Structure 1
Amino acid sequence: MQIILYLSVALIAIAFLVLVIFLAKALQSLSLTLESVSKTLDGLEKQLNGVTNETTVLLHKTNAIADDIQQKSESLNSVVDAVKDVGATVSHFNQTLQSISYKVDKQVEQNKDKLSQVIQWGNVLMELKDKWKERKQKTTVSEHEIMASERVNARSN
C-alpha cells in the first residue's frame, strides 16, 4: 500500500509538472500577446496625439475662417443697406420726375390755346424779323451803290 501511495504521489507530481509546463507556455504566449497589444496601443496613442493636434489646428483655422466670414458678412450688410438706400433714392427720384411730368402735361393741356397763340406770335415775329433784315440788306446795298456812284462822279469831276 505504500507503493500505491508513492506511485500516486509520483503520478500527482508528474501531472502537476505537466500542468505547470502548459501553464508556463500559456502564460508565455499570453505575455507575448500582451506585449504586442502594448506596442499597438503605443502606436495608436501616438497616432491619436497626431490626429488630436491636427484637429486642434483645424479647429483654430475653422474658427478664424468663421470670424472672417462674420466680419465680411457684416461689411456686406452695410453694402446691402447702402444699395437699398440708393434704390429708395432712385425710386423717390423717379416718383418725383413722374409727378413733375404729370404736372407739366396738365399745365400744357390747360394752356394749349395760349401756347398755340404764343407759337403763332413767335412765328409772326420771326417773319417780321426776316423781312426787316431783308429790307436792311436792300437798304445797305442801295446805299453802297449810291456811295459808289458818288465816288465815280466825284472822280469824274
Structure 2
Amino acid sequence: MDTNNPVTASNTLSKVNPPKRLIALLVFLVLISVTGLIMKQGVLFCILTLFMVLAIIGKQKAGLIMLRVYTSLQLAIVSMLPLVLYDPENLASSFAIGSFNAQVPDWIIFSILILLAIVQVWIAFTRKVGQYFNREVNLNIMR
C-alpha cells in the first residue's frame, strides 16, 4: 500500500476503530441519558449528552473536548457531594428496585458515584481515545 498517496493515507486513517473502553463509556452515557429522558429528569442535560455522544461517534475534535470537560466536571461535582449533602441525622438512604427495598449507607453510594466518575475520567484521557479523534476537523459538531 502506498502511504505517500493522500487518498490512500486518508482512507486508512478513517478506518480506525474506536477503543473498546470508549464504546463502553458511550453505551453507559446513552443508557443514562435515555433513562433521564424517560424519567423526565434533567431533559436538557440528557439531550446535550446525546449530542456529545454523536460528536464522539463522528470523531469530531469538539466531541473529545466535550467528553474531557464533561467527565472532569462530573468528577469535581460528585466529589463535592458528600460535603454538600452531609446530614448527620440521615446516615442511610433507602432505595427500591421493584419489590426489593434496601437501606444503604450514604458513604457507599458516594463511593460508587466517585468511582464511576474516576473511571470515566480515566477513559476520556487515555491515549487511545485521543488518537481515535480526527485532529483536522474543526470544532463544529454539526458538520
| TM class by smaller structure | under 0.3
TM-score (norm 2): 0.23
> Could you tell me the TM-score, scaled by structure 1's length?
0.22
Q: Which has the higher strand share?
A: 2
Judging by fraction of residues, say which structure has more helix.
1
Specify which structure has the bigger relative contact order, considering alpha-carbon pairs within 8 angstroms and separated by 6 or more residues: 2
